[in-house]
Amino acid sequence: MITNHTEYQAIERRFTRLAAIHDALGVLGWDSQTMMPTGAADGRAAQMAALRVIVHELLTDSRLADELAAAEVEAGLTVWQRANLREMRHAWIHANAVPSELVEASSRAASACEMIWRTARPAGDFGALLPAFTEVLELQREIGAAKAAALGCTPYEALLDAYEPGVRIAMIDPLFNDLAEFLPEFLPRVLERQATLPAPRPLDGRFPVETQRILGERLMRAVGFDFNRGRLDVSLHPFCGGATNDVRLTTRYNETNFTVSVMAVLHETGHALYEQGRPAAWLTQPVGLARGMAMHESQSLIIEMQAARSRPFLEFLAPLVRQTFGYTGPAWQADNLWRHYTRVEPGFIRIEADEITYPAHVILRYRLERAMIAGDLAPADLPAAWNDEMQALLGITPPDDRRGCLQDIHWPSGGWGYFPTYTLGAAIAAQLFETARLADPGIMQGLSRGDFVPLVGWLRTHIHAKGSLLSTDDLLTVATGRPLDVSVYRRHLERRYWDGE
Amino acid sequence: MITNHTEYQAIERRFTRLAAIHDALGVLGWDSQTMMPTGAADGRAAQMAALRVIVHELLTDSRLADELAAAEVEAGLTVWQRANLREMRHAWIHANAVPSELVEASSRAASACEMIWRTARPAGDFGALLPAFTEVLELQREIGAAKAAALGCTPYEALLDAYEPGVRIAMIDPLFNDLAEFLPEFLPRVLERQATLPAPRPLDGRFPVETQRILGERLMRAVGFDFNRGRLDVSLHPFCGGATNDVRLTTRYNETNFTVSVMAVLHETGHALYEQGRPAAWLTQPVGLARGMAMHESQSLIIEMQAARSRPFLEFLAPLVRQTFGYTGPAWQADNLWRHYTRVEPGFIRIEADEITYPAHVILRYRLERAMIAGDLAPADLPAAWNDEMQALLGITPPDDRRGCLQDIHWPSGGWGYFPTYTLGAAIAAQLFETARLADPGIMQGLSRGDFVPLVGWLRTHIHAKGSLLSTDDLLTVATGRPLDVSVYRRHLERRYWDGE
């Protein structure tokens, strides 16, 4: 028994080391998007590749396999230690299921394809991308097949599992099928209602970068971001990265429009709170990690969509905006901000989509990538299939592939099975927020004063501090009393976009 | 033969990987002094320790030892490959001579001692530091002894060898003994001459950080810094760090005094040019590294001391300063800048010392650390020995240990054998600069226009592009026609501080 427990301790030490390397990768990744001079790109790629190879070597070391097997039959471990072992095994399966050569070939193919995509996208030239795209897909299919055997699921689920462990099609399909039925009926009603209301008054003005940054940091503090363990910088695309106790957020600024940056900062702060709230005793272990990308997205969307686009919060935000930028008048009232932030308009581009149409973009990608991984859709047929789905879900057809199947970096760069986490996250966010709001009336009252303590306190207890102790499903069930319930998400959309709450 | 050549290639691949990890460490180190939030310090230490352990494991891997031995008897290697093998063996000796436990104990002791030093220094309390200091010293003595056997030199030389490979006491003693004789005679003469001249007019004004930064970047560009492969930031102490093709300089700004930051930027740019000028074909290999810390210091001092404090350059700098900050009058003329930048005044603090008294600070530390490593000076006797040397070399006695033996971080943090590189670098700088200047009259003419192309072109060819192909001694001899010649350095000091050139 004592010997076995020593095995467990030995594995913890291995994973502590892995966590340090992952953290180093997080800082290097942040630097490459915020600080790095362009001429350093090749060197940085080499540095990060070297560290990733080391991670892979540590996870495929045969001594780890032996220690894991020994620890798994050990008695006397705590619940957290058991869960940690389960997460270690999960990481082990992902690393060991795929031969190194396949990992490398896939990584090389994705780098090459991403390079081509960077010129093919602006040119709208899917034909130029097709050969590299096909290679990336074939390698992803191989990886999916290899992991499927080890995980006991379908190849597509095996890819999804790398982003949200344990989530299967059985959780996604009911949600996405329901939404695919609901949205084409709901969207025209929302647009009709919107047309009867006055259009948002334009928020014209100059919004200096430095002033926007100060406002962003003010809001980050209000939400509960700990600047002793993180910072805010600028990058081309906003993200939340960095390392343990060192959360690096980014945004970008447009000096003629402050509304995008404000919400980007709040979104990324939602991610950051999850990272800064992970269980302190387990920060170096797999069980101490955030649950997965869907749960992570739920945390950003609770702040950005559920809390910050609510009327109570916008009542707090409006005077702060007026005071910060020095504008007055009816355009700068909370109600007008609300109309901006809840404006619905079907469009071709996912990252510009509103809360109502966003799920349609995700469902489309989910259907298509699942079909491609299954071998039911050939890459050459992707543009036509994309346009058909857009027509069916949003009633519009992209005029070119630039605004169609070429718009996202995910597939060319090897990110297959990631898209569903966006809408899973949105639905989880709605369910968590409703539960929290009903449990504590102080939450909405707090938002109207810019006080996030009641809301974040609930999230800390029910989500952040749990790390990866529970599965996604169990975490949600324990927190809200039931598994994922799409009706809550629908109700949220109806309340905001039909009732105008 | 072909098999052997494969061995050589295999080792190159190992060192390419090591270079990537070193580069990652360089970026993480830069970040920790410029960007990192304070709460991330422990995590960052863990990340860097994990990468250093990996470096050590890669260098002590028994397969590397076999491959090295095989490659060393291989025929048909080029001169660069041979030199690369020699440098690989050198790195191997340093890593393998010392047992891991000793490396770890020393690193831990140094971290603990540095922590105590941070409070003992401001308190001037050497007694509080003594136990930890003694432990650091004892472990350094053990490391020196272990490496001495492997390198075939004395323990002190073995420590020095980690900073400037191949340099031995036989190169340092003639230089330092000469200077220790020359300076106490020369310094009073300089001070006397200085007293007969008008004192520098004060450079009073407000110098906004942003304006100083713009001036600094302007000068960096003039010197030849490539911003596509590097950047300038702010840290508590200026340094040159980062990674291959990603050189990160720092400075600090004082809004009531611009003179320090200008020279700090020029100094670090000298280091940066060396890094940016390393041989392109060998950037991932040991032979492609800069020769050592003394040669590195020579490159910073050529820019800062030899070039930038010369009258021709100050003729260029003065109007630029007037234009940048918007001041006019006699204080802002080149001659007054020259009087500021060549002001001599014996003081207690090394990092504030002028060009004349700086070597005395270094010689003192060299004598004392050598005696401590040899066991001839007990740490408890350090304060008294320090003060005696200060009196002998500069004629002043520190009023307390804060301004005496507690002022530098080097010894508490385990940096023994580093100090001599400062003055070795200064002497090498004088010799290289004199050779370059005599070879190309365009160099001084260029400086008067802020044009560093002739000077840096000479340095690129004769120093930077050579990497570690030659030993320090050979590199200097090939570049200047003779080994280190202290008379050149003396002549430089006499010309500037006696002749007023």
B180-214 in b/e form (b: 16+ CB < 10 A) is bebbeebbeebeeebeeeeebbebeeebeeebbbe
Q: What separation in angstroms does the CA of B249 have from each of B257, B270, B275?
A: 20, 10, 11
- Contact criterion met (CB < 8 Å) for A43 and B244: yes
CB B176 within 8 A of CB B169: no
User: Which residue, chain included where needed, has tokens 């996870």?
Assistant: A59
Question: How many angstroms separate the CA atoms of A76 and A78, rounded?
Answer: 6
Nearest CA in chain A to B27: A28
Between positions 219 and 248 of B, the ones with CB within 8 A of A are: 226-231, 243-246
A42 touching B, CB under 8 A? Answer: yes
Section A150-170 average pLDDT: 96
Among residues A417, A307, A318, A429, the alpha carbon closest in space to that of A362 is found at A417
pLDDT tens string A161-210? 999 999 999 999 999 999 999 999 999 999 999 999 999 999 999 999 99
CB A91 within 8 A of CB A165: no
- Contact criterion met (CB < 8 Å) for B226 and A46: no
Question: How many angstroms separate the CA atoms of B432 and B420, rounded?
Answer: 18
pLDDT beneath 70, residues of chain B = 1-5
What's the pLDDT band for A2 if we cut at 50, 70, 90?
very low
Q: Which residues, including other chains, have CB under 8 Å from residue B345's CB and lie 6 or more apart?
A: B354, B357
Q: Which of A135, A268, A315, A355 is catalytic?
A: A268
A23 touching B, CB under 8 A? Answer: yes
Section A488-501 average pLDDT: 96
Q: Is A257 helix (H, G, I), strand (E, B) or coil?
A: strand
Chain A residues whose beta carbon lies within 8 Å of the beta carbon of residue B284? 46
Q: Amino acid letter at B122?
A: P
Structure tokens belonging to residue B152: 């075939």
Question: How many angstroms separate the CA atoms of B257 and B250, rounded?
Answer: 17
Quickly count: other Cβ atoms within 10 Å of residue A57's Cβ.
12
pLDDT tens string B243-260? 999 999 999 999 999 999
Enclosing H/E stretch for A354:
none
Q: What is the 3-state secondary structure (H, E, C) of B238-307?
A: CCEEEECCEEEEEECCECCECHHHHHHHHHHHHHHHHHHCCCHHHCCCHHHCCCCHHHHHHHHHHHHHHH
CB B383 within 8 A of CB B401: yes
Q: Which residues, including other chains, have CB under 8 Å from residue B500's CB and lie 6 or more apart?
A: B193
H helices within A284-440, ranges in order? 293-301, 311-325, 334-341, 358-374, 382-394, 420-439
pLDDT the model gives residue A1: 40
Q: What separation in angstroms does the CA of A451 have from each of A217, A309, A349, A442, A446?
A: 15, 14, 33, 10, 5
Question: How many angstroms separate the CA atoms of A487 and A493, rounded?
Answer: 10
Structure tokens belonging to residue B107: 């690193």
What's the pLDDT band for A6 if we cut at 50, 70, 90?
confident
Among residues B473, B494, B215, the alpha carbon closest in space to that of B342 is found at B494
Minimum-distance CB partner of B24 among A47, A245, A284? A47
Tell me if residue A345 is catalytic.
no
CA B31-B37-B38 angle, to 5 degrees, is 110
User: In the predicted model, is pLDDT for residue A46 greater than 80?
Assistant: yes
pLDDT tens string B385-421? 999 999 999 999 999 999 999 999 999 999 999 999 9
Sign of CA dihedral A376, A378, A382, A383: negative
Q: What crossing angle do the helices spanning B486-497 and B420-439 adopt, rounded to 10°? A: 80
For chain A, the average pLDDT equals 96
Chain B residues whose beta carbon lies within 8 Å of the beta carbon of residue A210? none
B38 touching A, CB under 8 A? Answer: yes
Q: What separation in angstroms does the CA of A481 have from each of A79, A164, A166, A436, A474?
A: 21, 21, 19, 11, 10
pLDDT the model gives residue A3: 47
Question: How many angstroms separate the CA atoms of B364 and B387, rounded?
Answer: 10
pLDDT the model gives residue B3: 47
What percent of chain A stands above pLDDT 90? Answer: 96
pLDDT the model gives residue A5: 63
Question: How many angstroms separate the CA atoms of B359 and B305, rounded?
Answer: 13
Distance of CA A310 to the CA centre of its chain: 21
Minimum-distance CB partner of B229 among A31, A39, A54? A39
Nearest CA in chain A to B18: A50
- Contact criterion met (CB < 8 Å) for B35 and A35: yes
Q: Is A347 helix (H, G, I), strand (E, B) or coil?
A: coil
Strand pairing of A246-251 and B240-243? unpaired
Among residues B370, B395, B376, the alpha carbon closest in space to that of B173 is found at B370
Among residues B427, B387, B11, the alpha carbon closest in space to that of B179 is found at B427
- Contact criterion met (CB < 8 Å) for B246 and A43: yes
Q: Taking the model in full, what pTM does it have?
A: 0.95
Chain A residues whose beta carbon lies within 8 Å of the beta carbon of residue B44? 27, 243, 246
A54 touching B, CB under 8 A? Answer: yes
Rg (CA), chain B: 23
User: In the predicted model, is pLDDT for residue A160 greater than 60?
Assistant: yes
Nearest CA in chain A to B30: A31
Question: How many angstroms separate the CA atoms of B125 and B130, rounded?
Answer: 9
Q: Which of B74, B164, B268, B275 is catalytic?
A: B268
Bridge partners of A249? A232, A240
List the single best residue of A14, A35, A48 to mutate versus B (max B Cβ within 10 A): A35
Q: What is the largest CA-CA distance in chain B?
A: 73
Report which DSSP code applies to A202. P
List the single best residue of B21, B38, B44, B58 to mutate versus A (max A Cβ within 10 A): B44
Structure tokens belonging to residue A211: 């002033």
Report which DSSP code applies to A451. -
Quickly count: other Cβ atoms within 10 Å of residue A420's Cβ.
26
List the single best residue of B14, B38, B245 to mutate versus A (max A Cβ within 10 A): B245
The alpha carbon of residue B107 is apart from the nearest alpha carbon of chain A, in Å, by: 18
Q: Terminus-to-terminus CA distance in chain A, angstroms? A: 59
pLDDT tens string A401-443? 999 999 999 999 999 999 999 999 999 999 999 999 999 999 9
B20 touching A, CB under 8 A? Answer: yes
Question: How many angstroms separate the CA atoms of A226 and A397, rounded?
Answer: 44
Tell me the ipTM for this assembly.
Answer: 0.94
Structure tokens belonging to residue A236: 């081309």
User: Which residue, chain included where needed, has tokens 């003329």?
Assistant: B333
What percent of chain A stands above pLDDT 70? Answer: 99
CB A205 within 8 A of CB A329: no
Domain ranges of chain A: 2-114
Q: Amino acid letter at A369?
A: E
Sign of CA dihedral A404, A396, A183, A376: negative
Question: How many angstroms separate the CA atoms of A340 and B48, rounded?
Answer: 46
For A81-89, which contacts have Cβ atoms below 8 Å and span 24 or more sequence positions? A81/A8, A83/A287, A83/A468, A83/A469, A83/A470, A84/A12, A84/A282, A84/A285, A84/A286, A84/A287, A85/A8, A85/A11, A86/A287, A87/A165, A87/A285, A87/A286, A87/A287, A87/A289, A87/A468, A88/A11, A88/A15, A88/A286
User: In the predicted model, is pLDDT for residue A305 greater than 70?
Assistant: yes
List the single best residue of B56, B217, B246, B250 to mutate versus A (max A Cβ within 10 A): B246
User: Which residue, chain included where needed, has tokens 């120093």?
Assistant: B463
- Contact criterion met (CB < 8 Å) for A28 and B23: no
Chain B residues whose beta carbon lies within 8 Å of the beta carbon of residue A40? 229, 243-246
Nearest CA in chain A to B52: A21
